Structure 1
Amino acid sequence: MLDLIIIGAGPIGIACGLRAQKEGLNFVIVEKGCLVNSLFNYPSTMTFFSTSEKLEIGGVPFVTINNKPNRAEALEYYRRVATSHNLPVKLFEAVQSITAEGGIYTVTSIKAVYQAKNVIIATGFYDVAVTLDIPGEDLSKVKHYYKDPHYFAMQKVVVVGSSNSAIDVALETHRKGAEVTLVIRGEEVSNRVKYWVRPDIVNRIKEGSIKAYFNSNLKAIREYEVDIETPEGVVTVSNDFVMAMTGYKPNFELLKKWGLNLSENKFIPQYNPETMETNLSGLYLAGVVCGGLDTHLWFIENSRVHAEMILDDIVSKR
């Protein structure tokens, strides 16, 4: 019998594990993919908005020579934190079910069955892409995840969205020789775009090297072209790839299956903001998963504290 099961080995799941270890709890961290799986799936060239000290967990310094760390540095940092502390992490072990009986949770993964008095769900939000729900979205040329700009060299690329991920894709593929067309639902590039990147994309649009359609939506996708609904009417553009950078969301069906109450509008899970305990006694939420569809509410830097809040509550009940 364990004291605690942590589902998700991202930065916040690892932070929870560090605090649990400090308290002498018997626990395990179960992760469906690799260590910090979401960060691994970030673009290879990605640079964080946050400075390194705001990404630190467990009081372990994150040392970097850059003002803002990149993906590779973050992967190395969190790996070294997990291995140097010998955290009991079970990787590539997707959780299939969570059931409760007599105050004990049974967590069944594809490899094992665990039992504990407490469970923390720290599964993030990067696993389910927000779809466009338009004809042709199922074509192989449509991508919701982006890794490296070289793949799109000398191709005609339509990028949907105006947040950081979309703008990074547009600029990076453009600089590798792609012919880039941006489709933006609003009237301008999002103000959430990194402050050192936004002037770059605005100037590229102004000079015409990147074509942008504002107040527009992608209407249909075909093998070699797309239709864009603009204020002036439908425009057909020849196309090789569509990068639908429309955001991501937690696996709400899984959360409901596990018994969590979700709000009807934005699917925000019910939890106590002082302890992070959900409607199920002994089951807690940590990290970005707490925001429901509002995935911009929580980041590593402002949800690290969830580990302390949760473990304070668990320890107080021992």
Structure 2
Amino acid sequence: MLDVVIIGAGPIGLACGIEAQKAGLSYVILEKGCLVNSLYNYPANMTFFSTSERLEIGGVPFTSLQSKPNRAEALEYYRRVTMHFQLQVRLFEAVQQVQPLHKGFEVTSTKATYTCKHLILATGFYDIPVRMNVPGEDLPKVTHYYKDPHYYAFQNVLVVGANNSAVDAALETYRKAAHVTMVLKHDDIGERVKYWVRPDVVNRIAEGSIKAYTNATVAAIREQEVDIQTPEGLVTIPNDFVIAMTGYQPNFDLLKQLGIGLSDDNKMHPQYNPDTMETNVPGIYLAGVVCGGLDTHVWFIENSREHAVLIMQQIAAKV
């Protein structure tokens, strides 16, 4: 029986593995995709808001060409950290079921079955997009993940959203000669947009290079056009692709299956003790951005790295 099974090999899951190793605990990290899978699926040209030292884990220095690293540098860094500590990571191994045992848990994955005394969920929130729930959302031309702008060159592109992901997609595709329209739920670009990017998109909208409908929503999507509900009425425009940057959410089904309580407000905060990170289910801990529920602007890599330390102090004391 392992001391710990960690679900998720993102930066915080890796940090948990490092702390487990330092504490002399037996552990394994299970990841349904590649190493730091969420970061891998970020836009190819993405630059982090945080500086490189605030993304460090395990005391390993993170050096980057600029003060704010990009996606490629982060992937390289976390891969090297994994190699440096020789972390016990099992990639492309999705967890299918967790069953309670008398003194622990049985974790069944797509490749094996593990028994452990403690379970850590470091699953993030990037895997399940928040849907618009409109007709046509399942058409192949609609995506909730944006990767590279060249694909959209010379096309009519609708970008839904007003925060960092949407702004990056709009600006990058515009600069690859796409005809870009944005749909903003409120009356302006989000205040949390990176400060060196926000003036750029505001100016492009002001000059008309990027068309923006404010206080608007997507009403329907069809093969060659979309309907936009605006305060003035329904507008139909030509469209080839929809990039829906509408946000993401944790795997609430998994949390519920494990018996972890969720707040009954619209934030769906998981129940846990902030001093120990242990949930209402003894032996199950939360680490990283999953702690925020739908409040996805609370936890980041830089302020949730300490979750790993808190958790392993508790587990080491018990063991």
Q: TM-score range by the shorter chain?
A: over 0.9
Aligned CA RMSD, in angstroms, stands at 0.7
Give the 3-state SS of the residue equivalent to 1:87 in structure 2: coil
Please tell me whether the aligned partners of residues 260 and 270 of structure 1 are also in contact (alpha carbons under 8 angstroms). Answer: yes
One-letter amino acid of the structure 2 residue matched with residue 287 of structure 1: G
One-letter amino acid of the structure 1 residue matched with residue 296 of structure 2: T
Map of 1:110-121 to 2, 5 A cutoff? Answer: 110-121=110-121
**1:315 paired residue number:** 316
**2:292 paired residue number:** 291
Q: Does 1:129 align with 2:145?
A: no
**2:305 paired residue number:** 304
Give the 3-state SS of the residue equivalent to 1:69 in structure 2: coil
Please list every run of 5 or more consecutive structure 1 residues that lacks an aligned counterpart in the other structure: none
Please tell me whether the aligned partners of residues 121 and 284 of structure 1 are also in contact (alpha carbons under 8 angstroms). Answer: yes
One-letter amino acid of the structure 1 residue matched with residue 84 of structure 2: S
One-letter amino acid of the structure 2 residue matched with residue 274 of structure 1: D
**1:229 paired residue number:** 229
Q: Which runs of 4+ in 1 moved over 6 A?
A: none
Q: CA deviation at 1:268?
A: 1.2
**1:275 paired residue number:** 276
Identity in percent = 66
- Structure 1 length as normaliser, TM-score? 0.99
Q: Does 1:97 align with 2:105?
A: no
**1:35 paired residue number:** 35
Take 1:32 and 1:182, find their aligned partners in 2: how far apart are those partners?
33
Please tell me whether the aligned partners of residues 228 and 236 of structure 1 are also in contact (alpha carbons under 8 angstroms). Answer: yes
**2:212 paired residue number:** 212
Please tell me whether the aligned partners of residues 144 and 243 of structure 2 are also in contact (alpha carbons under 8 angstroms). Answer: yes
Please tell me whether the aligned partners of residues 160 and 166 of structure 2 are also in contact (alpha carbons under 8 angstroms). Answer: yes
Please tell me whether the aligned partners of residues 25 and 316 of structure 2 are also in contact (alpha carbons under 8 angstroms). Answer: no
Give the 3-state SS of the residue equivalent to 2:169 in structure 1: helix
Take 1:15 and 1:9, find their aligned partners in 2: how far apart are those partners?
9
**2:106 paired residue number:** 106
Take 1:189 and 1:250, find their aligned partners in 2: how far apart are those partners?
25
Please tell me whether the aligned partners of residues 97 and 258 of structure 1 are also in contact (alpha carbons under 8 angstroms). Answer: no
- Structure 2 length as normaliser, TM-score? 0.99
Give the 3-state SS of the residue equivalent to 2:32 in structure 1: coil
Give the 3-state SS of the residue equivalent to 1:3 in structure 2: strand
One-letter amino acid of the structure 2 residue matched with residue 295 of structure 1: T
Q: CA deviation at 1:103?
A: 1.7
**Residues 121-171 of structure 1: per-residue CA shift (max 9 Å, x gap):** 100000000000011111111110011000000000000000000000000
Give the 3-state SS of the residue equivalent to 2:165 in structure 1: helix
Q: CA deviation at 1:254?
A: 1.6
Q: Which has the larger displacement, 153-162 or 92-101?
A: 92-101
Map of 1:16-95 to 2, 5 A cutoff? Answer: 16-95=16-95
Q: CA deviation at 1:302?
A: 0.5
Q: Does 1:196 align with 2:193?
A: no
Give the 3-state SS of the residue equivalent to 2:202 in structure 1: helix
**2:255 paired residue number:** 255
Give the 3-state SS of the residue equivalent to 2:285 in structure 1: strand
Q: CA deviation at 1:258?
A: 2.0
Q: CA deviation at 1:263?
A: 1.5
One-letter amino acid of the structure 1 residue matched with residue 52 of structure 2: S
**1:187 paired residue number:** 187
**Residues 257-277 of structure 1: per-residue CA shift (max 9 Å, x gap):** 122111122221110010000
Please tell me whether the aligned partners of residues 186 and 215 of structure 1 are also in contact (alpha carbons under 8 angstroms). Answer: yes
Take 1:77 and 1:178, find their aligned partners in 2: how far apart are those partners?
33
Q: Does 1:149 align with 2:149?
A: yes
Take 1:96 and 1:267, find their aligned partners in 2: how far apart are those partners?
23
Please tell me whether the aligned partners of residues 218 and 227 of structure 2 are also in contact (alpha carbons under 8 angstroms). Answer: yes
Take 1:219 and 1:26, find their aligned partners in 2: how far apart are those partners?
52
Take 2:153 and 2:254, find their aligned partners in 1: how far apart are those partners?
38
